[in-house]
Amino acid sequence: MAKSRSKRAKNDQFPPESWYDPNCRECPRLARFLDVTKTEFPDYFCAPVPSFGDPNARLLIVGLAPGKHGANASGRPFTGDHAGGLLYETLHRYGLSSASVSISNCDRLRLFDCRITNAVKCLPPENKPVAAEVNRCVRFLEPELVSVPSGGVVLALGKLAHDAIVRVFGLAPSRMQFGHGARHKLPGNRTLLSSYHCSRYNTQTRRLTVPMFRSVVRKAKALSGAVTR
C-alpha cells in the first residue's frame, strides 16, 4: 500500500521546497481531482509530487505528470506503475539507479548523477493536463532545468514534456520538433534528447519497445557524461 505524505522517509534525493510548492492548489481542476482521489484512496499521497534523485545531476529526466496509482499514490516520480517499472529497470541497467524496482518513497533506492521530475506536478484527470495547467507548472520546472550543469542532458519522455522544456527556455517550437531520439541544443550548453513516453499504452502498442527505450537512455547517459555506479 502506498505511504501517506506524513510517512515519507527523509531522503537527500528529494529536492528543496524552493523547487516546488508542496501545498500548491493553483489549478482548480487538479485540486478538485486530488481531493476526490484522496477520498477514494485515503492512503495515497494526492499532492504535488516533487522530483527525485541527485540534486546536482548531469541527467534530468522529465515525464508528463504523476500517474494515479503510481507517483500520485507513492509521492515519488514513476514509482508504483508500469512506466516506472520500465524506467527504473533501464536506469539500473546503465548504472544510474541503485535498484531495478521502485517500490515506495520509503525504500532505499538512490539515483546516481540522475534526477526524475514531471512537467506537471499534480495528477490530472485521464492523465491529460490542459495547457493552462502546464503553463502554471512551468515555474516549478524552470529551476530544475537551469540546475542541469553545462554539458548536461535533459531527457523528455513524451511530447508534452518536450514542449514544456522548450517553453521554459523561450525557444521556437518549430525549430525544436519532438521525435523519438530527436536531439536539440538548449541554452547553457545543455542537450535536449526526447523519447516516446514509457507508458503502458506505448509499450503495448509497440510504439516504444524496450530496445528503443534502452537505446535512448544509453545515449542520454553517454551525452551527459553521468558518473554512475
Q: What residue segments make up the domains of the chain, in order of their start? A: 49-224
What's the pLDDT score for residue 216?
99
| pLDDT band (50, 70, 90) for residue 6 | very low
Residue whose C-alpha cell is 509521492: 75
What's the pLDDT score for residue 11?
64
Neighbouring residues of 127: CB distance < 8 A, sequence distance ≥ 6: 64, 65, 67, 68
What's the pLDDT score for residue 1?
34
- Whether residue 28 contacts residue 83, with contact meaning beta carbons closer than 8 Å, is answered with no
Query: pLDDT by residue (tens digit) across 65-76?
Result: 999 999 999 999
What's the pLDDT score for residue 10?
52
Query: pLDDT by residue (tens digit) across 28-37?
Result: 999 999 999 9
What's the pLDDT score for residue 15?
79
Average of per-residue pLDDT across 170-175: 96
| pLDDT band (50, 70, 90) for residue 77 | very high
Average pLDDT, whole number, for the chain? 93
Query: pLDDT by residue (tens digit) across 116-169?
Result: 999 999 999 999 999 999 999 999 999 999 999 999 999 999 999 999 999 999
Neighbouring residues of 156: CB distance < 8 A, sequence distance ≥ 6: 62, 162, 165, 178, 192, 193, 194, 195
Indicate the fold that domain 49-224 takes in CATH.
Uracil-DNA Glycosylase, subunit E (3.40.470)
Residue whose C-alpha cell is 508528463: 64
Q: Is the pLDDT of residue 198 over 90?
A: yes
What's the pLDDT score for residue 141?
97
Region of residue 158 (phi > 0: left; psi between -120 and 50: alpha; otherwise: beta): left
Helices (H), the chain: 28-40, 71-74, 82-93, 131-146, 159-168, 200-204, 210-224
Query: pLDDT by residue (tens digit) across 56-67?
Result: 999 999 999 999
